[in-house]
Chains A and B, each alone.
Chain A
Amino acid sequence: MTAPLLEVRDLKVHFPGSGSLFGRAAPIRAVDGVSFTIERGRTLSLVGESGCGKSTTGYALLRLVSATGGQVLLDGRDLLACRAGEMRQHRRRIQIIFQDAAASLDPRMPIGDLLAEALDIHGLHRGPGRMAHIRRLLDQVGIPSHFLQRYPFELSGGQAQRVALCRALAVEPDLIVCDEPIAALDVSIQAQIVNLMQDLQREHGLAYLFISHDLAVVRHISHRIAVMYLGRIVEQADKTALFERPAHPYTRALLSAVPIPDPEIEAARQRVVLSGELPSPANPPSGCVFRTRCPDARPACADTVPASRRVGEDHDASCIFA
């Protein structure tokens, strides 16, 4: 087995709690010991609900937020330990796109300049072939080259996301962190972007860290999936195992909550409806963090934090009963 492109070990991002009159509040454990690997040319999805830490994990890889512990190894080099200058070189290899693509593009720059700027920053394609290269890039994401002169506000949501992908692609990255890239788009446009991302992956051998709350899209696009709850990964497996044999009660509840666009299947479906809502990451429950909403919780769940256990081939879950 070859070494993975990216290996994240025990990543922690704790934010200081808002202080009170009587001393410091407990830190908010947004990401609390997360480990995973991403192979070249593959897609790992981080799924979970708002506040579970999936976006913060993505930002911490690029040092857009400061990790408070752990390692992020890109081809064995720890990104969290390297200096700013060296980090800039590594940033070329890890790019990021966001949900609100239009807001991530400088409103005063035409598309052509936005792409040229990305090349400038990393000193790529300085020569006379530059314009041709930019046109080729736009063509790859399905944007006609007369858009070079247009400004971001002239783009539709789907076009803005294509341009954001194009800019990420311009610097020839190995990995793109995609933070809810299609959540704001209409269904028909979502499908266009998903297909484009899959084509680009095949052509360029790109890896994706796909951050999403939409499990149907995740099933479609991923090779591997990590389910997060309250700052931790509670289950991790390849696509088939996770969707066919979910081992953690949270994964099962999450899957059963997703509606299926078929009235006959819906009518026959049994649902696990969770009670309550997400606890505060400043004050997580003792033991298993999911136990306060878990339909299968038993007294033992309050005692110890369940370690990640192997429950199948390349399939781990953090539940003492899994």
Chain B
Amino acid sequence: MSLLVVENLRTEFPTGRGLVRAVDGVSFRVDAGEVLGFVGESGSGKSITALSLLRLVPKPGRITADGMRFAGTDLLAATERDLRQLRTRQIGVVFQDPLRSLNPVLTIGRQLTETLRRHLGLSGNEARKRAVELLDMVGIPLAAKRLASYPHEFSGGMRQRVMIAIALSCNPRLLIADEATTALDVTVQAQIVELLRTLIRELDIAVIWISHDLGLVAQLCDRVSVMYAGRIVESGPVRQVFRQPSHAYTVGLIASTPRLDRVGHRLSTIEGLPPDTTRPTGLCAFLPRCGLSVERCRQAHPEPRPVGPDHLAACFAHEGRLREGFPQ
């Protein structure tokens, strides 16, 4: 049973230049306890997809979809009040920059207990006790003492731990992590990833993990959706997608990523820049940068088609040329 089902989500922003199609017909599902990765470059629509689920898209953004259901709730029809409940009690969120998410003039303890009291109806004492447990769970030493600290007294890694504690405070069923470790140093990132792995297993929560880092996706996710210019161009089980990338963009992305365990070769590049989504061509958005395109790419728009078990790709080129074009 899927926890979250999204069908044909579109999020558009009217601007002076025209309509920006930030998310352009995206469909996916998240099963209970599963980690789904969204990977893609800046502006590919991965963050806006997540914000659309929470109906937190900034004005004048417009969200439409054929369906968007979370654990029996229709997210499109939900009232603002339902959504507020949902956002903390059912769906926790961790963003890249914890300093912007935390209130600088309130203590960590206050921010944690406020959520617990309002949403779970705990008493002051109960909330305090639970807050200490939560900080303890995310590995903050001397948790009871740190309740009185302010956000600026914590390091970046510790702040992100606090954000995770707040996001998990009401036992949500889904956690959305948007570039949650991007601002952290690599050894601290490894600590946070390790923590998340343990928590995902122990609490049995589903996660939407948004990242530009293919390595983190490989490390953490069960399935992955690759986004380009507002669309999911490929999706599937993480091992499948990495072993047999079936969209020319995924192939290019993997080939242009330098790896710690490889040396000596010249990096493949994807020439050019991402397209302007205000001017859809009716063809594959990757076509102008694609080195593998075939005749059909210039005639029709590729729809996602199965290329393996639970593995979809929207690419005409994959059928013959992909494997010849980019030897492993």
Contact = CB atoms under 8 A, between A and B. Distances in A.
B83 to A, nearest CB: 32
Contacts, number: 123
Contact of A49 (B186, B213, B252, B258): B186
Contact of A191 (B187, B238, B256): B256
A273 B194 contact: yes
Contact of A215 (B186, B242, B271): B186
Interface stretch (B7-15, B94-102, B262-270, B295-303): B262-270
B142 interface: no
A253 B239 CA distance: 26
A50 B184 CA distance: 9
B66 to A, nearest CB: 30
A255 B261 CA distance: 10
Given A186-B41, A187-B253, A195-B266, A219 B258 contact: yes
Nearest to A220: B258
Nearest to A256: B190
Interface residues of B, number: 43
Contacts of B42: 186
Interface stretch (B115-123, B125-133, B144-152, B214-222): B214-222
Given A187-B257, A188-B270, A266 B219 contact: yes
A273 B190 contact: yes
A261 B185 contact: no
A263 interface: yes
Contacts of A273: 187, 190-191, 194
B269 A188 contact: yes
Contacts of B238: 263
Contact of A220 (B158, B191, B263): B263
Contacts of B187: 49, 253-254, 257, 273-274
A219 B190 CA distance: 19
A156 B260 contact: no
Interface in B175-196: 185-191, 193-194
A216 B259 contact: yes
11 contacts: A49-B188, A187-B256, A188-B41, A191-B269, A254-B186, A259-B193, A259-B213, A260-B261, A263-B242, A264-B239, A273-B191
Interface of A: 49-50, 156, 158, 186-192, 194-195, 198, 213, 215-217, 219-220, 239-240, 243, 253-266, 271, 273-275, 277-278
Given A187-B212, A264-B243, 17 more contacts: A156-B273, A186-B212, A188-B252, A188-B253, A191-B257, A215-B186, A219-B260, A220-B267, A254-B186, A259-B216, A260-B218, A261-B214, A262-B259, A263-B218, A263-B219, A266-B215, A275-B191
